[in-house]
């Protein structure tokens, strides 16, 4: 009995232990629940949001670029792109991979888009993409191929297609330089746009050059942002917030596409003509007219807006759409190919040559070197014997010749400009240097006053500021590169060279055109505009209108400006009946409708070393009209092409002829041209059918 009681007690004890153990197990559970749910609730709520909330960025279309009459110069279009999945490809054997790439290249080529295996391989191996990326390999494939690839996807492991929006150029290569192009963000650019208002993603496109670059902020669309709740498999369960994508603004330019097309055509034709000049043998060496490159700009001098901007050679912006290869890009930036990517109008710097003389004349008139206290009166004649000797020569070259070495005879300031007498200006320059009370840097001051030596401020990126040499800058240049100069001293000869836009003077075609604009519009120096306004793509309303920007008002009283203007008017019109002496562009403008559309101009022929080390003549011409209140100023420069009056002036003459007669040809977009060709072909068949019909009737008639 006792034992049973003991056992009974023991059993109660053991049950008690069991119960205690059971209860004690609740403690860690409750404690842990407390820890997770009460103490760390916030942290876990955040982690749930990390899990379930996702932001989807929806790309917004980029704004279009329009010309002044609203014609679309840059548009967007859909492109079907073949992609390969790197992750999936990595699991394939390399021999299988080779076969796949071969078959893929073959299939794409068969569909009409010539594709090399190497091209696919290069894209596949490109470092640009991460190991899980779907790499775009070939763009712009046909819809049929897309369907085929999707249908037989089992044959094409890892190969897919996607549709992307790319830039479209309805006018082909036209205006390529000024429009620029877009490309994927580079490492540097990623840093720059980090805080941009419109979010950029790693593979987004950004303007790289031209208008695309300068108006990037306006053109870029505002990406849409969608906050969604997703499940583990990334299925969207809910949309929490949705900010729709907003298309970028359209940018309208001051460019007129007809004027632009004409500028490009005439520039190219002018270069072709220049190339046909016979090779010249001179004492200094052989001159071959290679005429590899050139530039032309047309502006409205009254408001500083750019109407046309042509640079030759040019490139096809389409190259950048489907992804340009390294070798293709290298070709575009190769000096041997004359740097097709360079926009010579704003980036090419040339010695302005004689086109610089009006500004030296301004310096002489302004400082009084020509005038009562100076060496000459405005109308005083000076004998140009074709050669000028520096009166107090201290070394270096002491004798300076006219271009060609021929004398111009008795010239006043007007005729000196009309005939482009170097000796007259050498005389002025020498006296700036040696005459007490005058500053040898006066021509430079005047040039800078007219905008030379610093960027004009045009609304395009990467503009070159050119160079106006001074004694200080010479010393600095000598210090940096002693072998290029004989001495670090500024000699009188340097002042002489500077006065006629030679020596170290460099200017862009834009700077020349812009300086002349100020000269002929009464003295307003503009920062040239190429953008007219931005337009809301949906409403079509103006968002921002870009007003003319004035850099400064110049001091141009009539006594100073009228002799210069008169002299320049003679360049295209003056011919002495007695000895046949004529303005440097007289023959180029012979029979031009001067009465209806008065034109002035200035020729220039500058010397610059060519790539091969030969001295080559750079032909320049600046012309404007209709006087007295010109609406057009055009500057042309042809590299290694001969005399300005002979090869550059005719281009402007032909150009202005079209403008003066109001017969600027309407330039068609590629699509319009195709339609027209089709239409004409149709008409032709119709006509021949008609003729046949007539022939038939007549044969019937004759038969009867």
Partner 1 sequence: MSDLGWQRRRTSLNPSGSPISPWLHIDLALILSCLALGVTGVLMFYSATRGSDPTMYDKSFMSRHTLFLVVGTLLMLITSSIPYRRLRDLVPIVFWGSALLLLLVLTPLGVERNGTRAWFEFGQFQLQPSEFCKVAFIFALASYLERFNGYLNQKAIVNALFLAAIPLGLILLETDVGSALVFVAITMGMLLVAGAQTRHIFFMTVAGVLGIIVIWSTGLLQQYQRDRLTSFIDPASSQTEAAYQQTQAQIAIGSGGLRGQGFGEGQQTRGEFVPEQHTDFLFSVVGEEVGFIGAIAVLCLFGVVIWRVWRTAKKSADLLGTLICVGVLTMIVFQMFQSIGMTLGIMPITGIPLPFVSYGGSSSITSFVAVGLVLNVHMRRYEVVR
Nearer residue to partner 1 within complex by CB, 10 or 682 = 10
> How near is the Cβ of 31 to partner 1 at its closest, in Å?
9
Q: Which is nearer to partner 1, 150 or 236 (CB)?
A: 236
**Which tokens is 583 given?**
């303005």
H-type alpha helices, 53-116: 86-90, 94-110
Separation of alpha carbons 607 and 284, rounded Å: 12
Cβ-based nearer residue to partner 1, 29 or 700: 29
DSSP E strands in 495-548: the ranges are 524-527, 531-535, 542-545
- Alpha-carbon gap, residue 431 to 442, rounded angstroms: 11
Beta strands in 140-195 (DSSP E): 159-168, 182-184
Please say which residue, 93 or 232, places its beta carbon nearer to partner 1.
Answer: 232
> Angle, nearest 10°, between helix axes 357-367 and 558-573?
150
First vs last C-alpha separation in the chain: 150
Task: List contacts with partner 1 (CB under 8 A).
Answer: 7-8, 10-12, 14-15, 17-19, 21-22, 25-26, 28-30, 32-34, 36-38, 40-41, 43-45, 47-49, 51-52, 229-233, 235, 237
Q: 442-449 and 357-367 helices cross at what angle (nearest 10)?
A: 110
Closer CB to partner 1, 41 or 596, in the complex:
41
Residue 15 vs 383, nearer CB to partner 1: 15
**How many Å is the Cα radius of gyration of the chain?**
37
Smallest separation, CB 348 to partner 1 (Å): 59
Residue number, 50 or 282, with CB nearest to partner 1: 50
Dihedrals phi, psi of 294, to nearest 5 degrees: -170, 175
Are the C-beta atoms of 245 and 59 separated by less than 8 Å?
yes
Nearer to partner 1, 18 or 406 (CB): 18
Q: Which residues pair with 526 in a beta bridge?
A: 550
- Does a cis peptide bond (omega within 30 degrees of 0) precede residue 693? no
Min dist CB 3 to partner 1, Å, is 8
Structure tokens at 636: 């042309």
What span, in angstroms and rounded, lies between the C-alpha atoms of 196 and 201?
11
Closest to 411 measured CA to CA, from 565, 560, 570, 520? 570
Least distance (Å) between residue 193 CB and partner 1: 33
Alpha-carbon span 614 to 659, nearest angstrom: 37
Q: Which two tokens stand for residue 178?
A: 């000024």
Indicate the residue among 235 and 276 with the shorter CB distance to partner 1.
Answer: 235
Burial class (CB in 10 A: 0-12, 13-18, 19+), 600: buried
CB of 13 to partner 1, least distance (A): 10
């Amino acid at each position: 009995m006792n034992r049973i009681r003991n056992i009974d007690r023991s059993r109660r004890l053991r049950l008690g232990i069991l119960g205690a153990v059971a209860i004690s197990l609740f403690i860690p559970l409750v404690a842990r629940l407390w820890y997770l749910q009460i103490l760390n609730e916030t942290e876990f709520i955040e982690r749930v949001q990390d899990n379930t909330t996702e932001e989807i960025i929806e790309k917004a279309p980029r704004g279009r670029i329009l010309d002044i009459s609203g014609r679309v110069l840059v548009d967007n279009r859909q492109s079907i792109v073949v992609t390969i999945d790197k992750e999936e490809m990595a699991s394939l054997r390399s021999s299988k991979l080779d076969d796949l790439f071969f078959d893929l290249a073959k299939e794409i080529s068969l569909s009409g888009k010539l594709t090399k295996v190497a091209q696919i391989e290069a894209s596949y191996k490109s470092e640009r993409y991460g190991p899980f990326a779907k790499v775009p390999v070939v763009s712009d494939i046909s819809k049929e191929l897309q369907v085929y690839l999707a249908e037989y996807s089992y044959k094409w492991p890892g190969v897919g297609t996607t549709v992307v929006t790319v830039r479209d150029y309805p006018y082909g290569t036209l205006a390529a330089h000024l429009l620029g192009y877009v490309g994927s963000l580079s490492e540097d650019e990623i840093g720059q746009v980090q805080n941009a208002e419109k979010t950029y993603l790693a593979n987004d496109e950004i303007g790289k050059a031209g208008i695309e670059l300068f108006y990037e902020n306006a053109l870029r669309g505002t990406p849409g942002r969608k906050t969604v709740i997703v499940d583990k498999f990334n299925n969207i369960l809910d949309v929490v917030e949705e900010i729709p994508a907003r298309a970028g603004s359209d940018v309208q330019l001051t460019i007129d596409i007809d004027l632009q097309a004409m500028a490009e055509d005439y520039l190219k034709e002018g270069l072709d003509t220049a190339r046909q000049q016979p090779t010249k043998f001179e004492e200094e060496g052989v001159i071959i007219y290679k005429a590899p490159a050139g530039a032309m700009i047309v502006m409205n001098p009254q408001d500083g807006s750019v109407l046309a901007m042509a640079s030759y050679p040019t490139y096809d912006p389409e190259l950048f759409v489907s992804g340009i290869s390294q070798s293709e890009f290298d070709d575009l930036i190769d000096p041997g190919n004359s740097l097709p990517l360079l926009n010579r109008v704003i980036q090419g710097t040339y010695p302005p040559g004689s086109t610089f003389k009006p500004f030296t004349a301004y310096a002489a008139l302004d400082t009084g070197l020509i005038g009562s206290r100076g060496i000459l009166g405005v109308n005083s004649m000076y004998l140009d014997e074709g050669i000028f000797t520096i009166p107090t020569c201290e070394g270096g070259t002491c004798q300076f010749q006219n271009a060609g070495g021929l004398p111009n005879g008795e010239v006043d300031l007007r005729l000196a400009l009309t005939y482009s007498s170097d000796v007259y200006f050498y005389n002025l320059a020498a006296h700036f240097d040696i005459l007490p009370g005058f500053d040898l840097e006066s021509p430079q001051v005047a040039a800078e006053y007219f905008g030379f030596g610093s960027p004009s401020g045009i609304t395009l990126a990467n503009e070159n500021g050119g160079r106006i040499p001074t004694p200080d800058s010479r010393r600095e240049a000598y210090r940096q590169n002693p072998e290029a100069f004989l001495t670090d001293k500024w000699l009188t000869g340097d002042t002489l060279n500077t006065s006629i836009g030679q020596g170290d003077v460099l200017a862009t075609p834009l700077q020349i055109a812009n300086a002349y604009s100020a000269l002929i519009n009464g003295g307003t120096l503009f920062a040239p505009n190429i953008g007219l306004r931005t337009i809301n793509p949906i409403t079509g309303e103006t968002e921002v209108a870009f007003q003319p920007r004035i850099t400064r008002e110049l001091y141009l009283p009539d006594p100073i400006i009228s002799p210069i203007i008169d002299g320049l008017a003679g360049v295209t019109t003056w011919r002495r009946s007695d000895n046949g002496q004529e303005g440097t562009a007289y023959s180029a403008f012979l029979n031009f409708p001067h009465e209806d559309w008065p034109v002035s101009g200035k020729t220039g022929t500058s010397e610059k070393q060519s790539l091969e080390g030969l001295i080559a003549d750079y032909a320049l011409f600046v012309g404007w009209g209709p006087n007295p209140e010109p609406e057009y100023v055009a500057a042309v420069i042809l590299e290694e092409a001969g005399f300005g009056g002979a090869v550059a002036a005719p281009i402007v003459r032909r150009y202005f002829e079209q403008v003066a007669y109001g017969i600027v040809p309407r330039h068609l977009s590629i699509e319009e041209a195709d339609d027209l060709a089709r239409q004409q072909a149709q008409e032709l068949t119709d006509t021949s059918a008609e003729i046949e019909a007539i022939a038939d009737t007549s044969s019937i008639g004759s038969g009867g």
